[in-house]
């Protein structure tokens, strides 16, 4: 009798499997970005109320430039698919309101840096070497870019720019499964006495793995109240500062051609650490999103509302002056966007970027199909127009630039899409 019930149950389960009914998962979103040399890939998962993690498979048509952040509450409808390793195939996706104020961008940030060795491959860097790197490059970068609003600390040693330890994991050389890397390394650190199991002891975990053929140079969670980053073989600010800023909630700074949303280069913004792979500073849009400008004792990037000449100081030099202007009124489809005009003294050039208040991608605006960097900047006398907004570089001199902005009269703003022209 018992066997008969079991076999009926088995048939019922089989039929359910065949019918593959949709189900729902509710929980907290985790967004991960993998930085490959020329493109980025995203992974999404949901942690439900029981703490179980469900990896999502977004529809092929999904646009990854939506402003999703780790920590957002989501409700996902879809089907679990054995064919894709038990991932949850998403049919529909509801997400809580976009995060306009990113958490953990000011004040001391407790970080644990783990220098990971594989079971059969020793990491060439020591924990002391990692600490030196943080003392000389990573922490100074965060302090400079945030105008002193954010700095890194340890949990064990608050006066250090993080806690630093070396761990060896059971994974063999070349292992790229970030779930295994992070879980095993954290467990090893916990056994060494680091409080990796206490929520909030660290707001950021950083893993340095020996150079591995994973394809990606770095990987990070995007936003959220805590996060992690992995640097694959290259331990420089270029990789670590970039990944850490993903943790703080920023996405890439792209380069965009003449019209909105008609193509972009993922890391195309050569002026920004979230863009070009040769490094750079945090641009005005990123700093605005992080709350690193327009505060007391920080540089100002005021939103202007009148047509006029504006004198701006260079963004890439110290000082608390007006280091850019922000211009509202333009639209990307139905989304309001802001233009940011900044001057970089090291380049002697003015640039126009765009970004949105709730988004996380920045865009350097200009021509995309030219290797001539000069065409991406707004040289003296050149004019940039978008939807009735006209921006002209009047002059550049030493540490300042004069920018003329003409705004359309109220009520005449056209809607996107529109064409940009750089004369």
Q: What is the CA radius of gyration of the chain?
A: 24
Distance from C-alpha of 137 to C-alpha of 322, rounded to nearest angstrom: 26
Pick 30 or 35: Cβ nearer Zn ion: 35
Q: Which residue is nearest to Zn ion (CB)?
A: 35
Least spacing, CB of residue 69 vs Zn ion, in Å? 14
Question: With contacts defined by CB under 5 A, how many residues of the chain interact with Zn ion?
Answer: 1
Place of tokens 């909105």: 260
CA–CA dist 116, 182 (Å, integer):
10
Q: What is the smallest separation between the CB atom of 353 and Zn ion, expressed in angstroms?
A: 17
Stretch that binds Zn ion, among 27-35, 57-65, 162-170, 207-215 (CB under 5 A): 27-35
Smallest distance from the beta carbon of 287 to Zn ion, in angstroms? 17
Q: How far is the CB of 252 from Zn ion (least distance, A)?
A: 6
Among residues 392, 382, 307, the alpha carbon closest in space to that of 341 is found at 392
Contact call for residue 272 and Zn ion (CB under 5 A): no
Taking the C-alpha atoms of residue 322 and residue 298, their distance in angstroms, rounded to an integer, is: 10
Query: What CA–CA distance (Å, rounded) separates 401 from 370?
Result: 25
CB 146 within 8 A of CB 105: yes
Residue 269 found at the interface with Zn ion (CB under 5 A): no
Find residue 88's DSSP bridge partners.
56, 80
Q: Which is nearer to Zn ion, 35 or 256 (CB)?
A: 35
Among the candidate windows 28-36, 66-74, 107-115, 336-344, which touches Zn ion by CB under 5 A?
A: 28-36
Are 282 and 290 a contacting pair, CB within 8 Å?
Answer: yes
Q: Please say which residue, 212 or 393, places its beta carbon nearer to Zn ion.
A: 212
Which distant-in-sequence residues (6+ apart) come within 8 Å of 104 by Cβ? 203, 204, 225, 226, 247, 248
Region near Zn ion per CB under 5 A, out of 35-43, 63-71, 124-132, 356-364: 35-43
Binding of Zn ion at residue 288 (CB under 5 A)?
no
Integer Cα distance of 316 and 280 in angstroms: 9
What is the Cα 367 distance to its own chain's centre?
Answer: 23
Q: Output the smallest distance, CB 245 to Zn ion, in A.
A: 8
Distance CA 338, CA 405 (A): 14
347 within 8 A of 314, measured Cβ to Cβ: no
Minimum Å distance from CB 148 to Zn ion? 25
In the bound state with Zn ion, the residue whose beta carbon lies nearer, of 251 and 349, is: 251
Contact stretch for Zn ion (CB under 5 A) within 32-40, 178-186, 253-261, 328-336: 32-40
Which residues are CB-neighbours of 17 under 8 A, at least 6 positions away?
A: none
Q: How far is the CB of 34 from Zn ion (least distance, A)?
A: 8
Decide whether 164 or 267 has the Cβ nearer to Zn ion. 267
Out of 28, 30, 35, 313, the only residue in the binding site for Zn ion (CB under 5 A) is: 35
Count other Cβ atoms within 10 Å, centred on residue 259. Answer: 15
Cβ proximity to Zn ion, 254 vs 392, nearer residue: 254
Q: Stretches 29-37, 61-69, 145-153, 299-307: which one binds Zn ion (CB under 5 A)?
A: 29-37
Question: Cβ 283 to Zn ion, closest distance in Å?
Answer: 14
For Zn ion, the closer of residues 35 and 139 by Cβ is 35
At 411, list the tokens. 């009520």
Query: Which residues of the chain form contacts with Zn ion (CB under 5 A)?
Result: 35
């Amino acid at each position: 009798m018992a066997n008969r019930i079991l076999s009926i149950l088995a048939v019922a389960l089989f039929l359910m499997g065949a019918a593959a009914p949709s189900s729902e998962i509710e929980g907290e979103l985790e967004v991960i970005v993998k930085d490959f040399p020329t493109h980025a890939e995203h992974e999404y998962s949901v942690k439900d109320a029981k703490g179980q993690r469900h990896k999502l498979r977004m529809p092929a048509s999904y646009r990854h430039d939506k402003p999703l952040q780790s920590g957002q509450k989501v409700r996902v409808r879809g089907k679990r698919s054995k064919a894709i390793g038990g991932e949850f195939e998403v049919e529909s996706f509801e997400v809580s309101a976009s995060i306009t104020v990113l958490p953990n961008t000011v004040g001391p940030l407790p970080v644990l840096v783990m220098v990971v060795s594989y079971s059969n491959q020793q990491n060439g860097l020591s924990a002391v070497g990692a600490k030196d790197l943080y003392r000389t490059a990573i922490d100074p970068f965060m302090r400079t870019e945030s105008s002193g609003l954010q700095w890194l600390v340890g949990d064990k040693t608050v006066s250090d720019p993080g806690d630093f330890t070396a761990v060896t994991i059971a994974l063999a050389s070349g292992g790229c499964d970030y779930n295994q890397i992070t879980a095993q390394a954290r467990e090893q650190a916990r056994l060494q006495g680091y409080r990796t199991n206490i929520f909030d002891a660290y707001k950021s975990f950083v893993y340095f793995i020996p150079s591995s053929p994973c394809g990606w140079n770095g990987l990070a969670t995007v936003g959220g109240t805590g996060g992690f980053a992995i640097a694959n073989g290259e331990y420089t600010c270029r990789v670590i500062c970039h990944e850490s800023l993903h943790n703080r909630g920023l996405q890439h700074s792209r380069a965009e051609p003449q019209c909105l949303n008609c193509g972009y280069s993922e890391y195309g913004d050569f002026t920004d650490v979230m863009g070009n792979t040769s490094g750079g500073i945090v641009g005005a849009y990123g700093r605005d999103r992080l709350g690193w400008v327009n505060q007391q004792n920080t540089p100002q990037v005021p939103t202007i509302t009148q047509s006029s000449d504006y004198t701006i100081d260079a963004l890439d030099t110290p000082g608390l002056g007006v280091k850019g202007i922000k211009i509202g009124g333009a639209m990307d489809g139905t989304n309001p966007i802001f233009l940011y005009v900044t001057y970089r003294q090291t380049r002697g050039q003015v640039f126009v970027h765009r970004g949105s208040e709730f988004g996380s991608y920045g865009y350097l605006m200009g021509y995309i199909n030219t290797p001539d960097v000069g065409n991406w900047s707004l040289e003296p006398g050149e004019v940039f127009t978008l939807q009735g907004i006209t921006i002209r570089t009047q002059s550049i001199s030493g540490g300042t630039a004069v920018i003329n902005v003409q705004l359309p009269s109220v009520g005449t703003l056209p809607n996107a899409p529109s064409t940009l022209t750089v004369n």
